[in-house]
Structure 1
Amino acid sequence: MIQHPRLDRFATSLATLGPVGHFPKAPGTWGSLAAILTAPWLFLPFSFPQRLLILLVILCVGIWACSRAEKVYAEKDPGCVIIDELFGQWLAILFCSTTNWQLAVAFCLFRGFDIFKPWPVKWTENTFPGGMGVMLDDGVAGLYALVFLSLITLLF
């Protein structure tokens, strides 16, 4: 593999959300928390079509960055790679306003689905190669959280 140190640094910085992926213990939880805390400024103010575009950009950039990070770290889905948490968490709040209780519930739901990986979350992770598998399993967990959060919002 041809090495590109600057490109590798850029990709791993994106994949780890800068320093957040290197926080001690539970980098996925830190990544999800960073996503929830930044969403009121970087995601929720936008219209629905703009949010979809943001998610599409994060998915595409994330697939590339995660694939590159797996090569740099010589590891499948390294723990410090957390752009997938950003994608999944923001997908979970796609229909939200800035209501704090919705953000808190979305955080808990997404973390639960991401950690316990009900079918097809785990299947997605294992079926798709490289960065695509890394990103899509959190996307499926985010979809689960989105559905459950929508039901909870409708009921309450």
Structure 2
Amino acid sequence: MTIPQFRLSKWQHFLALGFGSGLARKAPGTVGTLVAVPIVALLMWLGMPYLFSFIILGSILGVYVCDVTTVDINQPDHAAIVWDEIIGFAITMFLVPLTWQYIVLGFILFRLFDIAKPWPIRFFDKTVHGGLGIMLDDVLAGIAACASLHLVIYMLSSS
């Protein structure tokens, strides 16, 4: 397999690679999610409309930049493409109180759903390709992690 020729000078690659974080030698998805933490925390602090706007615009833009990058490097869903992790983590934290404990738990839950890819996430990961496919499995992992996180918050507040 040839080594992909990412060009960080090309804005689509720079964004798809999570500002370069996807080039980490080990666990690029986890590193990309770590890059998302301060971005998402800032947006949560500014208010949920900012986080919501980021999720919507970032998802739409993500389909485009991930697609452009895969075409440019001639490889589908390369591990270095981590913009989907950034958006997935943002989805995980939607309508969650801004505390470091919930950020850590959200991080763990998102990574678990993203790595394990339970049904239906795995189905979409295997059947939808291109930029949409790259984004979709992480959007679904983010939704599952968000629902799980809200369930934990509800259970903690009920006890």
Same fold, TM exceeding 0.5? yes
Runs of 4+ displaced beyond 4 Å? none
Q: Is the 8 A contact 1:62 1:135 kept in 2?
A: yes
Alignment of 1:5-154 (within 5 A): 9-41=10-42, 43-154=43-154
Instruction: Give deviations 1:48-72, integer Å, cap 9, x for gaps.
Output: 3332221111001100000011111
> Alpha-carbon deviation of 1:91?
0.2
Indicate the RMSD between aligned Cα atoms, in angstroms.
Answer: 1.9
Would you say how many aligned residue pairs link Structure 1 and Structure 2? 151
- Which amino acid counterpart does residue 20 of structure 1 have in structure 2? S
Q: Is the 8 A contact 2:8 2:14 kept in 1?
A: no
- Which amino acid counterpart does residue 123 of structure 1 have in structure 2? F
Normalised by the length of structure 2, the TM-score is: 0.88
> Alpha-carbon deviation of 1:8?
8.1
- Which amino acid counterpart does residue 113 of structure 1 have in structure 2? F
> Alpha-carbon deviation of 1:124?
1.4
Q: Is the 8 A contact 1:106 1:145 kept in 2?
A: yes
Which moves more between the two structures, 50-59 or 115-124? 50-59
> Alpha-carbon deviation of 1:97?
2.4
> Alpha-carbon deviation of 1:17?
1.5
CA distance in 2, matches of 1:115, 1:34: 17
Normalised by the length of structure 1, the TM-score is: 0.90
SS at match of 2:81: coil
- Which amino acid counterpart does residue 31 of structure 1 have in structure 2? G
Q: Is the 8 A contact 1:67 1:131 kept in 2?
A: yes
> Which ranges of structure 1 fall in alignment gaps of 5 or more residues?
1-5
